[in-house]
Amino acid sequence: MTNFEKWAKEFRNQNLYAFNHNPNGLLWLKVRAISRGKQIGQFLIQNHITLHSTKIADQNVELFNLLEHTPDAMQRLDKFLTVKNNEWYETIGVNEAKLKEDLYKIRNYEWGGDQNNSLDKYLISRYVKTISDYDYLYGLQPEIAHNSWNYVQTSWYNNWTSYLIESIFKRHEKVISAVGEIKSVDFFLDGIPIDLKVTFFPNQFMAYKLKERLGCRELTWLKRQAKNLGNITVDKTLPESQQIYTLTEKLSELNRHDVIETLREKHREIISEAQTNPIEIMSWLYANQGEMRFGAENRLFLILVDATDINQSWKMKRAFSLIEPKVNEYLNDFDENRLKQIDFTFNGKCYKSLADVIFIVKH
């Protein structure tokens, strides 16, 4: 088995840990990062390299085999990737100042789909397969349009906030972008392949930790408080998140802010504990991925949370005045010892990765 085949197999098997601290594995990833037709062609011209292969996949193999025996191969790749990364910012043509202002025009964070944020499945199940009367369906156009617009608007918000956040990382001098968009690698940080995950404080993790503290689920606890305070009811057929929202609103109307503050204090305690012991939440995030998006790569988690109101955490994705200094401070002080080994199990199989987390918390 050649070295190329060895690393290709490790990559397919999601054993990204094997690439860490291995110069040959890192070389494989960086060659992969320029393996698209236009990029590899430019690299060959700039470095006066001629390949016999004509297919991109074959060129990828031939180039790796050649660079394995080239003393300054890593420096050549890094220089090319750095230039390409800078070109990306210049050619994509985004007016970032205007974009940052436009993000504040978004007032609601609503997907318009079902609980899995899948608009197409929601439209099929809600309208296509349940309504046989066309005239009735035709009359629902405003409702359907509203759902579709919510999905588009929220997707737009997520896409461009992610772009701007990723840009902060990729502009830093310690970061080299994987411009070829390798699956599982967004950039190399001091030579370590990293997948950036921007996420909110996970609701399921919060619910799990709240149950530990309250002795029951959050909804159950709220219902008990409501019952003790009188005739405060909620429609039990509503989704759990809606029931929690309804109960907190009714408690607020009765000026029972003490009950709501007790719950918020529990939220703050859990957030603080996660910051103190980040391995637990990182392990949870790895182990509770969706199967379709599973990965065991090294990860740098950027966790955004509004500790004053968890439900408003979505606004944190545009809080660049908070995000940018924290990210730059982290990158300035970064060394590989900051990454922690995470051991986790997914679908009965054991994995290990390197990871760290940056918390952006509004207090």
Question: Is the Cβ–Cβ distance between 83 and 170 less than 8 Å?
Answer: no
Question: Are 78 and 34 a contacting pair, CB within 8 Å?
Answer: no
Judged against a pLDDT cut of 70, whether residue 337 lies above it is answered with yes
Q: Tell me how many helices (H) and strands (E) the chain has.
A: 15, 6
Residue 183 and residue 195 in contact, taking contact as beta carbons nearer than 8 Å: no
318 shares a domain with 272: yes
Same domain (yes/no): 300, 233: yes
What is the rounded average pLDDT of the residues 329-344?
Answer: 95
Q: Cβ(172)–Cβ(89) under 8 Å?
A: no
192 forms beta bridges with 189
**Into how many domains does the chain fold?**
3
Paired tokens of 169: 């990382």
Residue 100: the pLDDT is 95
If asked whether residues 228 and 255 sit together in one domain, one would say yes
Q: Which helix (H) or strand (E) holds 195?
A: strand 192-200
The SS3 call for residue 304 is strand
pLDDT tens digits, one per residue of 246-297: 999 999 898 988 998 999 999 999 999 999 999 999 999 999 998 888 999 9
Is pLDDT above 90 for 358? yes
pLDDT at 83: 80
Compare 291 and 143 and report the one with higher pLDDT: 143
Is residue 348 in a domain? yes
Compute CA distances 334 → 185, 194, 357, 358, whole Å.
18, 13, 12, 12
Task: Flag whether 190 is in a domain.
Answer: no
Q: Of 64, 93, 122, which residue constitutes the final position of a domain?
A: 93
CB 30 within 8 A of CB 77: yes
Tens of pLDDT along 207-246? 999 999 999 999 999 999 998 887 788 999 988 888 999 9
Does some domain include residue 309?
Answer: yes
Provide the token pair at 111.
């997907």
Angstrom distance (rounded) from CA 225 to CA 333: 46
Question: Within this chain, do residues 139 and 285 fall inside the same structural domain, yes or no?
Answer: no
The percent of residues above 70 in pLDDT, for the chain, comes to: 96
Does 93 score more than 80 pLDDT? Answer: no
116 pLDDT band (50/70/90 cuts)? low
> Is 176 a member of any domain?
no
Do 216 and 330 belong together in one domain?
yes
Give a three-class secondary structure readout of 58-122: HHHHHHHHHHCCCCCHHHHHHHHHHHHHHHHHHHCCCCHHHHHHHHHHCCCCCCCCCCCCCHHHH
Residue 182 — pLDDT band, cuts 50, 70, 90? confident
Q: What per-residue confidence (pLDDT) applies to 82?
A: 86
Tens digits of residue pLDDT in 21-53: 999 999 999 999 988 778 899 999 999 999 999
**Do the domain assignments include residue 341?**
yes
Q: pLDDT value at position 87?
A: 65
Q: What is the pLDDT of residues 56-83, one digit of tens each?
A: 999 999 999 999 999 999 999 999 998 8
pTM here is: 0.90
| In a domain? residue 10 | yes
Establish if 282 belongs to a structural domain: yes
Split at pLDDT 50, 70, 90, the class of 181 is low
**pLDDT confidence of residue 312:** 93
- Residue 238 is assigned to a structural domain of this protein: yes
Domain boundary among 93, 121, 136: 93
Q: 44 with 125, same domain?
A: no
Q: Are residues 88 and 115 in the same domain?
A: no
Residues 16 and 131 in one domain: no
- Give me the domain span that covers residue 117: 110-157
Per-residue confidence (pLDDT) for residue 36, from 0 to 100: 79
Give the model's pLDDT for residue 38. 81
* 98, pLDDT greater than 80: yes
Pair (229, 325) in one structural domain: yes
Residues 87 and 114 both lie in one domain: no
Residue 138 and residue 49 in one domain: no
- Residue 84, both tokens: 């390409």
Q: Does 220 share its domain with 265?
A: yes
